[in-house]
Structure 1
Amino acid sequence: TRDWLPEGHLASFILDVVEELDVGAIEDPIQAKDHRGERAYEPRMMVALLLYGYSTGVFSSRKLAQATWTDLGARVLAAEAHPHFTTINQFRLDHHKALSALFLQVLKLCQKAGLVDLGHVAVDGTKIQANASKHKAMSHTRMLESERRLEGEVAALMAEAEAVNKREDAAFGDGDGSTIPDELKRRETRLIRIREARQALEEEAKEARRLELRLQAEKARESMKKAENTTDVLKAERRAMARDAAVQKLGPENPTAIPGAKDELPFHKVPHDKIGAPKGTAQRNFTDSDSRIMGRRGAFQQAYNGQIAVAEKNQIIVAQLLTNQPPDAEHLVPILEQVRESLDAFPTKLTADAGYWSESNGSFCEDAAIDAYISTRRRRHREHQGDQEPARPPPIASRTKAGLAMEAKVTSEEGRVIYAKRKWVVEPVFGQLKECRGVRRFKLRTLPKVRSEFSLHCTGHNLLKLWRSTTTAEE
């Protein structure tokens, strides 16, 4: 059936790529299942179909299933099989971790083809809407108010139902009393959902406070080691002991309460008070509890924060990660570490906007021998070209010795040229993802699955770059 395709078609290229990929993490669990029952579709075929969809902007399992009938490339990849959309979606959900790991394998293929150069890497992030509405989020204060209101309404409806039952029993004889009014069912169901969300939010706040106390205790112990006299040692020791005691008062630990807390990546911490109770403004979404309210260009949406590091040469994504923590600065070190782990080296030069500046990030780049150009303030349009319009002053937090040194570096003649590259290295990649392939909103929910989805989007981008490089070379 490959003969149906014109020479150099994307589907033919993906077939060749999938043959080189290690999909053992997908095949092994399938082979380990009971052999009785309906035979599973070939895993490599399903992987190829998904990669084709994410490379061409078709993410919906329904549209992918339809494409096996209407799209010639998809028909060839599916080998004239037509998996149901529920099968495609379940395959994606069951193997989301293994599918996420394909990003590194495709990146290695790009490196092997000579498309990856770490001479200059630009880092940027974007907020992508979650598969949830911000109107389905509720604050802790509102949860408490809604609980009290619904408890009163449920009690009133129960009393009314009891009165109706007594009147009917007097008129028609004894009944079984099993009929529950629909209005009462709706209120009880809503009350249960709000109560569960409140309890989960309170548990998350308690664990956030536990992490905060442990960090404070650790810093106090470090201060003990550096203390130069007995008085300072005793003060630091008392601080550490007080924090340890406060941790014990919080009760049993719940490691799964905070989404992403065990992944060594930035994660959102619920605003809380000193006793570990959530503040009144702390929110939780009923549809996707891992997503968070994030601001973007003056508007707020229920979203996740996607981060990418892009090499100047060929615009290959050399690292990607996704979290539910809105600020960008916390993501710089993890994404640079991912570059090193994947490609055995840090970038030679790095550019990043003002959202990534902090003294600790500057120190990390200096220690890693990365020639970093990180803006310490928001820059005016075309300011990097040296226009005469007065520049915005750096924020007070950046007016430190390290901040002023970085600002002088970025605004130098050489720095302007290097920093200007960021706009045509990393920002167009988000344009290609969002405008060309429609990555405006995630399809999946919860942090682990959304991370897998974002990884597939980035894998599809690199596949297209690799495919176009091969077709260009052949021409």
Structure 2
Amino acid sequence: MGLRRCSLISMEKTLRLFEDAPGTEGSFNTTKGGKPRIEEPQRRQGEMRFEYPEDTLAPSHPARVIWDVLGKLDLSAFSKGCESVEGAAGRSLKSPRMLLTMWLYALTQAVGSAREIARLVGSDLAYRWIAGNVEISHQKLSQFRVGHGEALNDLMTSLLATLMNQGLLSLAVVAQDGTRTRAAATAPSFRTYGSLLECREQARLHIKAVLAAADDPEYTRAQHAARAAAAKDYQARVEAAIATVTELQQHRTSSDSPARASTTDAEARVMKMADGGFRPGYNVQYAVAGSELGGPRTIVGVNVTNVGSDMGSLAPMVKQIEERTGQRPAVLLADGGHAKAEDIATTRRLGVDVIVPPAEGAKPIEKLQAEGADPEVIAWRERMETEEAKQHYRSRAGLAELANAHQKTHHGLTQFLVRGVPKVTCVILLSAIGSNLLQHAQQLLC
């Protein structure tokens, strides 16, 4: 009994001795007299994993949904020009359905960088499922994104036609709105003609130096090729900027400031953004069909320009919608920034009821009549005085502006990572197709 008491006293002294030691807070359990068993992570332990990719995503996962819907559409246009055929030598073409799913899903997750997608393929379950053990480089992703403009346009048309045939799309009310989105260029990259001539000379000397160093053992063969390609790319961008400045200068008077163009993206223009600032960007026009009472919002038309104003964009959009669907909108809603008399008159002659408020300071209807203005313009102004037109106009923001906000907020289209109107249009088409697919996926898969 005395021995047991001595042991307990000795243990208590030991515990008191180590109670104040650093890093030992809570290390011992005085009740049971032992140290707690803690299972620490073993990061240096090798292991083998067996994974069946098909079981990694739920049936309702957006990536799987996009893949399934694309399986019901004709994607043969993306394989045009493929020289690798079955039974013959050559490298196989990466699956267009897989690459499309990759981009459409990435954009719905606000991922717009090819490098970021390539990284996620190695770490994210959804991207790994889409890839299906097929190696994808960021170069291949970049090339696919901007190399199939015509095929993407046809896919957009095919999807809208499918929705029309299944009764999932109505053009009773269509709202149009423009949004200015930043380009992949900065303000300092805009230069005058004289400055661009200096850049041309610098680019010429740089290419000469790069080619002269082709035998330099400090660089590998691939590095030499990359340096030469980068030098030639810069020279091409400078030449494009010079051509742009020359064209712009022809439309300016002597009192105007000198024309400028970007050596990064010659097609970008400085325009007023939503926050009131002026930055290089593009004007993206969306036409959205939907019900005033809610439900799916379907993007039925897109147009990309480098013009900062929305005026003059109504009639071209109506014609585009007709080309895609075979029908014209019954009612077209737009804000006052689209109020150009000639454009509205043309659109009304196409049989479309245009609901656009007149610009501030517009002439009274009586004065337009006295001046012999276009009858369609007068009819539009009279139409806008009615309560029915005002009621229609209240639904505009819920259609067009909501879609614009969705593209920027959820698809990450706050700044483009590609250059030029054709490439920017490809990105917008991808985003619009992805949005439409997810809006109607449940009905399309029935």
TM-score by length of 2: 0.70
Looking at structure 1, the residues matched to 418 and 285 of structure 2 have their Cα atoms a distance apart, in angstroms, of 18
Kindly state the Cα deviation for residue 324 of structure 1 after the two structures are TM-superposed. Answer: 1.3
**Who is 1:288 aligned against?**
265
Q: Is residue 2:140 matched to residue 1:84? A: no
Looking at structure 2, the residues matched to 78 and 442 of structure 1 have their Cα atoms a distance apart, in angstroms, of 25
Looking at structure 2, the residues matched to 309 and 105 of structure 1 have their Cα atoms a distance apart, in angstroms, of 17
Kindly state the Cα deviation for residue 372 of structure 1 after the two structures are TM-superposed. Answer: 1.4
Q: CA offsets, 1:353-380, max 9 Å, x none?
A: 11212222222233222111111125xx
**Who is 2:277 aligned against?**
299
**Who is 1:11 aligned against?**
63
**Who is 1:58 aligned against?**
111
SS in 2 for 1:306: strand
**Residue of 384, 391, 394 corresponding to 2:362:** 394
**Who is 1:214 aligned against?**
none
Looking at structure 1, the residues matched to 419 and 284 of structure 2 have their Cα atoms a distance apart, in angstroms, of 15
Q: CA offsets, 1:129-148, max 9 Å, x none?
A: 1111122112346657x78x
**Who is 1:312 aligned against?**
290
**Who is 1:69 aligned against?**
122
The 8 Å contact of residues 84 and 92 in structure 2, kept in 1 or not, is answered as: no
Looking at structure 2, the residues matched to 17 and 43 of structure 1 have their Cα atoms a distance apart, in angstroms, of 14
Kindly state the Cα deviation for residue 37 of structure 1 after the two structures are TM-superposed. Answer: 5.5
The 8 Å contact of residues 376 and 406 in structure 1, kept in 2 or not, is answered as: no
Q: CA offsets, 1:294-337, max 9 Å, x none?
A: 11242111011111111123210111111112221221111100
**Who is 1:406 aligned against?**
380
Equivalent position amino acid for 2:282 in 1: Y
Name the CA shift for 1:18/1:285 in 2 (closer, same or farther; >3 Å).
same
Name the CA shift for 1:97/1:405 in 2 (closer, same or farther; >3 Å).
closer
Looking at structure 2, the residues matched to 16 and 89 of structure 1 have their Cα atoms a distance apart, in angstroms, of 23
Kindly state the Cα deviation for residue 399 of structure 1 after the two structures are TM-superposed. Answer: 6.2
Equivalent position amino acid for 2:356 in 1: I
Kindly state the Cα deviation for residue 73 of structure 1 after the two structures are TM-superposed. Answer: 2.6
- The 5-angstrom pairing of residues 261-276 of structure 1 reads 271-272=251-252
The 8 Å contact of residues 131 and 441 in structure 1, kept in 2 or not, is answered as: yes
**Residue of 319, 343, 364 corresponding to 2:346:** 364
**Who is 1:263 aligned against?**
none
Name the CA shift for 1:371/1:432 in 2 (closer, same or farther; >3 Å).
same
**Who is 1:182 aligned against?**
none
SS in 2 for 1:457: helix
TM-score by length of 1: 0.66
Name the CA shift for 1:338/1:194 in 2 (closer, same or farther; >3 Å).
closer
Looking at structure 1, the residues matched to 331 and 398 of structure 2 have their Cα atoms a distance apart, in angstroms, of 15
Equivalent position amino acid for 1:272 in 2: R
SS in 2 for 1:363: helix
* Bigger Cα displacement from structure 2, 46-55 vs 90-99: 90-99
**Who is 2:426 aligned against?**
452
Name the CA shift for 1:325/1:367 in 2 (closer, same or farther; >3 Å).
same
- Structure with the larger helix share: 1
Name the CA shift for 1:59/1:399 in 2 (closer, same or farther; >3 Å).
farther
Looking at structure 1, the residues matched to 176 and 56 of structure 2 have their Cα atoms a distance apart, in angstroms, of 41
Q: Which runs of 5+ in 2 are unaligned?
A: 1-52, 206-231, 370-375
Q: Is residue 2:189 matched to residue 1:136? A: yes
- The 5-angstrom pairing of residues 462-473 of structure 1 reads 462-467=436-441
Kindly state the Cα deviation for residue 51 of structure 1 after the two structures are TM-superposed. Answer: 2.0
Higher-Rg structure is 2
Looking at structure 1, the residues matched to 337 and 282 of structure 2 have their Cα atoms a distance apart, in angstroms, of 16
% identical aligned pairs: 26
Q: Which runs of 5+ in 1 are unaligned?
A: 155-188, 210-270, 379-392
Looking at structure 2, the residues matched to 117 and 357 of structure 1 have their Cα atoms a distance apart, in angstroms, of 25
Looking at structure 2, the residues matched to 198 and 439 of structure 1 have their Cα atoms a distance apart, in angstroms, of 25
* Bigger Cα displacement from structure 2, 117-126 vs 134-143: 134-143
**Who is 2:80 aligned against?**
28
Name the CA shift for 1:420/1:442 in 2 (closer, same or farther; >3 Å).
same
SS in 1 for 2:55: helix
The 8 Å contact of residues 241 and 263 in structure 2, kept in 1 or not, is answered as: no
**Who is 1:111 aligned against?**
164
Looking at structure 1, the residues matched to 183 and 151 of structure 2 have their Cα atoms a distance apart, in angstroms, of 22
Name the CA shift for 1:422/1:73 in 2 (closer, same or farther; >3 Å).
same
Kindly state the Cα deviation for residue 119 of structure 1 after the two structures are TM-superposed. Answer: 0.7
Looking at structure 1, the residues matched to 238 and 172 of structure 2 have their Cα atoms a distance apart, in angstroms, of 53
- The 5-angstrom pairing of residues 420-435 of structure 1 reads 420-435=394-409
- The 5-angstrom pairing of residues 34-433 of structure 1 reads 36=89, 38-140=91-193, 196=239, 199-201=242-244, 203-205=246-248, 271-272=251-252, 280-297=257-274, 298-313=276-291, 314-377=296-359, 393-394=361-362, 400-401=368-369, 405-433=379-407
Name the CA shift for 1:114/1:64 in 2 (closer, same or farther; >3 Å).
farther
Name the CA shift for 1:348/1:94 in 2 (closer, same or farther; >3 Å).
closer
Looking at structure 2, the residues matched to 42 and 412 of structure 1 have their Cα atoms a distance apart, in angstroms, of 54
Equivalent position amino acid for 2:406 in 1: Q
SS in 2 for 1:20: coil
SS in 1 for 2:80: helix
